[in-house]
Amino acid sequence: MGDQNKYMLAIVRHEKAKREVEVLTRAIGLAVNRCPVEIELMGLSVATKDHWERLVDEKTGKTKTHLWQAFRFREPSDCGYGMMALSEDGVAESLSAGSEFECEHCLRAYELIVKRKSARRELGHARLAIRALGRSAMRGGENG
Ligand SMILES: [Zn+2]
């Protein structure tokens, strides 16, 4: 009974983490879809090339949302050589009210992305815990 409970808890932990990642992924999509850049693109039936290029990154086909701009932004590195991307805090800051990529929807999406990072870490740990149980059960099988 104790053993069964152990397996059950590990599986439930994994399932919870998996669901959390899925829920966050959906929420991120919904938040990004509310970005005015995305809405402008959705509303276009016919676009001039210039207009299209203003909204869509030609190389990747991605919409140039504020989040996209913040991720892509490079600033001179502290050491004085080369350029570097914004830090986690820097991205959030650049999307905040009054900043250069201000957008409440992209900021919301980014907060969810940060949350999903930790949810994915938890999912990884849950997966490892299940594998450890599997290995230990196999050893038990060999011995017994
Ligand atoms: Zn936006």
Q: Render pLDDT for 55-84 as a digit per residue (tens, 0 to 9).
A: 999 999 999 999 999 999 998 988 888 999
Report how far ligand 1's centroid is from the alpha carbon of 43 (Å). Answer: 15
Find where tokens 């207009």 sit: 51
Taking only the tens place, the pLDDT of each residue in 2-41 is: 778 999 999 999 999 999 999 999 999 999 999 999 999 9
Tell me the CA–centroid distance for residue 73 and ligand 1, in Å.
Answer: 14
Pairwise pLDDT comparison (125 vs 79), residue with the higher score: 125
Q: Ligand 1 centroid to 55 CA: how many Å?
A: 11
Give residue 60 CA to ligand 1 midpoint distance, Å.
18
Separation of 106 CA from ligand 1 center, angstroms?
A: 4
Least confident of 20-34, 70-84, 97-111, 124-138: 70-84
Lowest mean pLDDT among 64-73, 78-87, 91-100, 110-119: 78-87
Q: What is the mean pLDDT of residues 107-123?
A: 98
For residue 67, count CB atoms less than 10 angstroms from its CB and return exposed for 0-12, middle for 13-18, buried for 19 or more. buried
pLDDT of 47? 74
Query: Which pLDDT value is given to residue 85?
Result: 94
- CA–CA dist 4, 108 (Å, integer): 40
Strands (E), 1-77: 74-76
What is the pLDDT, as a whole number, of residue 48? 84
Residue-range domain boundaries for the chain? 2-143
The CA 107 to ligand 1 mean position distance, Å, reads 7
Query: Cα(39) to centroid of ligand 1, in Å?
Result: 9
Ligand 1 midpoint to CA 105 (Å): 6
